[in-house]
Structure 1
Amino acid sequence: MITLQCLLEFRSEEDRQKVLDLMRRFSSAERYGYQRLLEGHERNGLKSHLAGLFQINTRYADDAILKAQSVLKSCRERGQSPSRVVFGGRNLFEKLKKKHLNGSRREELKREWRERRQGNLYSRGDRSKQGNLNLRFVWLEGELYLRICMGERQWVWAKVVRPVKREKDKWTGFIWSLHQAEKTGEWFPYDVELKLRNGKVYALVSIREKFPPATVTLRNGVLGIDVNAYPFHLALAEVSPDGNLVGYERISLHELISASHDKREYLCWQVAHRVVNLALQKGRAIAMEDLEKLPKGRRGDGLPKLRKKLQRWIYKSLLEKIEVLAKRRRVEVAKKDPSYTSVIGKLKYAPQYLVDKDVAGALVIGRRALGFEEKLPENYKLLFRDEEYLLYALAQLEEKVKELKRELKGEGNEWRKKAIKKRLSATRGELKTLQRHLRMLQSGESEPVSRDPADQRKEPVRGHPPGWRKSWRVLSAALTVPLLEKSPQVKGTVRDFSPLRVILVSGDWERAVRRSVPVPGAGAAVQECSNTFVQF
């Protein structure tokens, strides 16, 4: 979406006050609708109720609920409590609570607070309603006006003031599209939102961007992107058309954590340009995760410092910028389901290429975009049926549970206890997974360990049979604690997967079990100090 801004000039002060009153009622409807959504009310039932209560038409009421739903969804995605949302901005709210503020400074903050809280009006676009029903751009005597619906066949016309700022200003394209739509009758939808700032009313117009056809396609291979929170970075993997790893790189995102909003936006665009330039330089398309929600922790999980960083991590905004910029520059973008990419990457490709799990995850995303399936290696299939090794792994997990219980009992800090409980719960889950698999193995029941190839060029991940996911879960439980956590690691993480290489190559898991330290120079543990592992 492209968002353009313009200033509105009203014909009279009376018209201006009418619009400000409508904005105030719409803002109240949005806040009221938000509280009702928290109580579990449905959107359809709220629409007519809000229309009658705040004296707005049903379309405005529906748009108010839509805005409230977007605030609620955004809050939940960030892992914040929806009941603590402050319309108008928490920072301003906290400043106004301070008693030492007075005089002109306090009055200025009050004015800004009222404008943010009460100065909003939104109408979604509709192709069948000449672009927009309630807030529509019209031409009067050769000049552009915004027609604002005030009620049943009641409108206010506001003149649009928007000088062209530069040669490639997208406003010019929007005006041309309006002229063409009026001539041909083929309208396009555009969302309009009114905002009150410093006493002036601005209109923000959002339209869907038209991209040129891609010239850099998946046939040339892909640049897989994996988003990672610990440490904060993007892992990039260059994947050839035959699915092999060609090169890899990591882009640190730590600078985004402490930056202000405007600086974060600037830095995100810088990262997006770096990624797209790299894709163009290598002639590769871009493959990324189709992320709906990324866990950012919750209050009481015992990890306050990490949670605070995660709350400020705008991963979705960054991926959207990469996608938009790539499409503008004719680079094809493939978005794939990220399910089990990290598990497959760390167990299969991290030991094979001696890279860290993040680069391996990016490789899996790239291969998935190219249509390749991820079958279990032959030696993993053998280990999957080795009852003796699985009993050893089960004993290691049981010992891990006992160790965490002792650690929990000896910990006096209540918040650290919650972090230990979280690790204990995860370990118990792995233990149950392995116990179920062993019971099935001992009873002679069959369990699928890999997915039969159906079509190498298609990858309907969400349609995988349950056994496909179960196999990787069992392997993760059987290998992570018994093998990978034996070596010295960064606290709370596993970064070196080189012990699995012995299993993949020779199937000698007895040798892997005996190994107590990582091979010098192997794995990603020795590369943590470097921002970029390997230059393309």
Structure 2
Amino acid sequence: MRKQSFAIRTAYNMLKELEKEKTRNPHAQIYHRLRQLFSDLPTKHIDSAIYKAKQYTTDKSGVFGGKGLFEKLCKNHLTGKAREKLKKQWRELRQGTLIAMGSKHKTAQGNLLLRFMELDGKLHLRITTENREFICAKVLREPSNSKDNWLTFMAMLLESWQTQSYFPYTVELKLRNGPTPEVKYTKKNGVIAIDTNSSPIHLAVAKVSKAGELASYQTISLHHLIGLSQNNKDHQEWILAHKIANLAIQKGKAIAVENLRKLKRGMYGDGKAKLRKRLHHWNAKKFLQKLKRIAMLKGVEIVEVNPVYTPVIGILKYTPQLNIDKDMASAYVIGKRALGFREDTPKNYERLLKEKEYLEFAVGKYEDREKGLKELIEKETNLKRELKEVENAKKLLTNLIQSLQSEPSGCEGANGRNPTWQVLKVALLFPILGKVLPRDLSPLKPVLMEGVWDRVRSRLVPLEAGGVSR
């Protein structure tokens, strides 16, 4: 329905343009273009899309989905469930059409793709799907009165079955209040956790057992999407969404993803020019929408989790502990959070936040970095943002040193949120590894497992702004 509805809208727009140009035989040009865009649609559905598009008048602008509903959606007074309900109705009208023209050919028996047939003494509609498979849906249509044309059609259809002298008839299906398929694959058996990444563009896929253990993992590169047209990119994303949903079905698990709507503006890269450029090549939110749609249709449960601190927890806790990369560790955290597991901060990390000697060492690292940035900032103005981050980190750790005499409960924020993970990120990554997001996180392992950090103080650590620190 969605593909053919898109084909109908495309055919309609092309028809308007070709009529302005007074092109001869526009049907052939439209058919050739739709064949390129929708190569997986049957030929009859392409012809039927053009047939449906010709039924609309082209002298005025058309609004597929209903002009009245569209105008209501454009108003700002509707919010929440009321707006979502109206939006669902509009999408059903816009995307919920499937039409197949009748055929005189004997093998088509009146209609090749949407054919009425008798099954167990009841009237059914045989719907052709992908891979030449069929769905037989029971027809519940009843005549409204004795003059209803449905009675005449049924009489003609019955006679054609008996005489095998078939006549062509066109069938059009409309989606109305489409039911949600039954969820068969839930998180009771674990989840397939997905972490979307833009640098480089790829998916980190972690299979997490119901006990919260990392069973296996894999990386799916999306580099091949760069440079594709939007239509081809959408097509590849739909294929990928099917593959992930099928993987979840094969493993009998639900799918866990980030709820990107929970992220504040700027936290997903839209505040940085380089990441904005990468996000132009691939939009994670749109892909997750496709994945959720396919999962729903296949009966796979989708569990959306708040992504706050998932990368930080993965970097600090599971990357050094399990020897996996930071993106895979983040996917693992998403999976555990979807299953309801709580992530406690490691005791050795907590101990460092209470150790004045270490905190003074960390502040010293940030002071060295701050000094180096101030020396370079006159030549490279793009370092102002990093300088601000370094100053904030130094202030945070300085305040932590001053509050060591007070109770540690002062770390808890509003609504019971515990920002310890963010504090640990500031206190550990740059002071120990020399970078905010380094590739090699293995030096964190002795700190995590044994609480050993003294060896860091004795070795030379390169600083990005130039020079070294002891």
Q: TM-score range by the shorter chain?
A: 0.5 to 0.7
Q: 1:352 aligned to 2:321? A: yes
* Correspondence for 2:283: 314
Give distance in 2, aligned partners of 1:224 and 1:247.
11
Listed as ranges, the gaps of 5+ residues in structure 2 are 9-48, 80-85, 102-111, 116-126, 146-171, 463-470
Residue 4 of structure 1 contacts residue 206 of structure 1 at CA under 8 Å; is this kept in 2?
Answer: no
* Correspondence for 2:212: 243
Give distance in 2, aligned partners of 1:284 and 1:336.
16
Deviation at 1:220, TM superposition (A): 0.8
Matched residue SS, 1:447: helix
Distance 1:343 1:57, change over 3 A: closer
Distance 1:373 1:226, change over 3 A: same
Matches within 5 A, 1:521-536: none
Structure 2 residue corresponding to 1:343, chosen from 287, 296, 312 = 312
Which amino acid counterpart does residue 428 of structure 1 have in structure 2? E
Matches within 5 A, 1:151-162: none
Q: 1:507 aligned to 2:456? A: no
Structure 1 residue corresponding to 2:416, chosen from 461, 465, 479 = 465
Structure 1 residue corresponding to 2:425, chosen from 472, 476, 497 = 476
Residue 344 of structure 1 contacts residue 364 of structure 1 at CA under 8 Å; is this kept in 2?
Answer: yes
Matched residue SS, 1:422: helix
Structure 1 residue corresponding to 2:439, chosen from 495, 504, 524 = 495
Residue 216 of structure 1 contacts residue 283 of structure 1 at CA under 8 Å; is this kept in 2?
Answer: yes
Residue 220 of structure 1 contacts residue 241 of structure 1 at CA under 8 Å; is this kept in 2?
Answer: yes
* Correspondence for 2:200: 231
Which amino acid counterpart does residue 447 of structure 2 have in structure 1? I
Give distance in 2, aligned partners of 1:404 and 1:208.
60
* Correspondence for 1:458: none
Deviation at 1:346, TM superposition (A): 0.6
Distance 1:355 1:337, change over 3 A: same
* Correspondence for 1:295: 268
* Correspondence for 1:447: 409
Once structures 1 and 2 are overlaid, which stretch shifts more, 355-364 or 279-288?
279-288
Alignment RMSD (CA, Å): 4.4
Once the two structures are superposed, what CA deviation does each residue of 1:210-233 show, in whole Å capped at 9, x if it has no partner?
343222221111111111111111
Residue 4 of structure 1 contacts residue 205 of structure 1 at CA under 8 Å; is this kept in 2?
Answer: no
Structure ranking higher on relative contact order (CA contacts 8 Å, 6+ apart) = 1
Residue 343 of structure 1 contacts residue 476 of structure 1 at CA under 8 Å; is this kept in 2?
Answer: yes
Deviation at 1:282, TM superposition (A): 2.8
Give distance in 1, aligned partners of 2:328 and 2:391.
28
Which amino acid counterpart does residue 473 of structure 1 have in structure 2? Q
Q: 1:433 aligned to 2:406? A: no
Give distance in 1, aligned partners of 2:298 and 2:207.
19
Residue 113 of structure 2 contacts residue 128 of structure 2 at CA under 8 Å; is this kept in 1?
Answer: no
Residue 196 of structure 2 contacts residue 202 of structure 2 at CA under 8 Å; is this kept in 1?
Answer: yes
Structure 2 residue corresponding to 1:422, chosen from 385, 395, 408 = 385
Distance 1:338 1:177, change over 3 A: farther
Deviation at 1:405, TM superposition (A): 2.0
Distance 1:124 1:341, change over 3 A: closer
Q: 1:254 aligned to 2:223? A: yes
Give distance in 1, aligned partners of 2:180 and 2:421.
39
Give distance in 2, aligned partners of 1:241 and 1:437.
38
Distance 1:512 1:178, change over 3 A: farther
Structure 2 residue corresponding to 1:381, chosen from 350, 359, 362 = 350
TM-score (norm 1): 0.56
* Correspondence for 2:247: 278
Once the two structures are superposed, what CA deviation does each residue of 1:132-164 show, in whole Å capped at 9, x if it has no partner?
8x9x99xxxxx9xxxxxxxxxxxxxxxxxx984
Structure 2 residue corresponding to 1:391, chosen from 356, 360, 367 = 360
Deviation at 1:335, TM superposition (A): 0.7
Once the two structures are superposed, what CA deviation does each residue of 1:305-337 show, in whole Å capped at 9, x if it has no partner?
x43222231211211222222233332211111
Distance 1:126 1:506, change over 3 A: closer
Matched residue SS, 1:216: coil
Deviation at 1:234, TM superposition (A): 0.6
Once structures 1 and 2 are overlaid, which stretch shifts more, 254-263 or 209-218?
209-218
Once the two structures are superposed, what CA deviation does each residue of 1:345-370 show, in whole Å capped at 9, x if it has no partner?
11111111011111111111100011
Deviation at 1:515, TM superposition (A): 5.5
The structure that has the greater radius of gyration is: 2
Give distance in 1, aligned partners of 2:173 and 2:379.
57
Give distance in 2, aligned partners of 1:220 and 1:496.
33
Deviation at 1:296, TM superposition (A): 4.0
Once the two structures are superposed, what CA deviation does each residue of 1:430-478 show, in whole Å capped at 9, x if it has no partner?
2222222222224x24435689xxxxxxxxxxx9613x1x211111111
Give distance in 2, aligned partners of 1:309 and 1:205.
39
Residue 218 of structure 1 contacts residue 332 of structure 1 at CA under 8 Å; is this kept in 2?
Answer: yes
Give distance in 2, aligned partners of 1:277 and 1:323.
13
Distance 1:177 1:385, change over 3 A: farther
Deviation at 1:429, TM superposition (A): 2.5
Listed as ranges, the gaps of 5+ residues in structure 1 are 28-55, 70-122, 138-142, 144-161, 184-202, 412-416, 452-462, 487-491, 519-536
Q: 1:167 aligned to 2:136? A: no
* Correspondence for 2:434: 485
Residue 397 of structure 1 contacts residue 431 of structure 1 at CA under 8 Å; is this kept in 2?
Answer: yes
Once the two structures are superposed, what CA deviation does each residue of 1:393-428 show, in whole Å capped at 9, x if it has no partner?
0111121122222222233xxxxx33x222222222
* Correspondence for 2:32: none
Give distance in 2, aligned partners of 1:2 and 1:207.
14
Deviation at 1:178, TM superposition (A): 9.8
Distance 1:271 1:406, change over 3 A: farther
Matched residue SS, 1:481: helix
Matched residue SS, 1:508: coil
Which amino acid counterpart does residue 425 of structure 2 have in structure 1? S
> How many residues are aligned here?
356
Give distance in 1, aligned partners of 2:138 and 2:74.
30
Distance 1:240 1:387, change over 3 A: same
* Correspondence for 1:146: none
Distance 1:64 1:323, change over 3 A: closer
Give distance in 2, aligned partners of 1:517 and 1:179.
77
Residue 258 of structure 2 contacts residue 307 of structure 2 at CA under 8 Å; is this kept in 1?
Answer: yes
Which amino acid counterpart does residue 449 of structure 2 have in structure 1? V
